[in-house]
């Protein structure tokens, strides 16, 4: 993979579409920094099938997923 590029979070926010296009065209990672420390990475996903995506996305669940979202919802 080509070398990554680092930019500040404010720069990314002000020119988001420009940087998304850059990542798509170059296939490089874009490292977004916050207070000069790496914070986020924008990278192109190169997958052949949806099955290949398995394991690349992580969801953290806090609390009991069986609890109602709204108070009193289970009393209807």
CA–CA separation, 66 vs 25, rounded Å? 43
Residue 40's SS3 state is strand
Q: How far is CA 22 from CA 15, 41, 43, 54, 73, in A?
A: 11, 13, 10, 26, 47
Say yes or no: domain 5-61 is CATH 2.40.30.10: no
pTM exceeds cut of 0.85: no
What's the pLDDT band for 58 if we cut at 50, 70, 90? low
What ranges do the domains of the chain cover? 5-61
Q: Which comes out higher in pLDDT, residue 12 or 49?
A: 12
CA–CA gap between residue 41 and residue 44 (Å, rounded): 10
* CB contact at 8 A, 7 and 29: no
């Amino acid at each position: 993979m080509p070398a990554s590029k680092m930019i500040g979070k404010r720069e990314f926010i002000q020119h988001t579409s420009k940087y998304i296009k850059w990542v798509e065209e170059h296939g490089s990672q874009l490292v977004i920094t916050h207070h000069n420390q790496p914070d986020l990475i924008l990278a192109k996903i190169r997958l052949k099938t949806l099955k290949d995506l398995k394991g690349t996305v992580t969801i953290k669940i806090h609390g009991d997923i069986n609890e109602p979202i709204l108070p009193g919802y289970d009393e209807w």
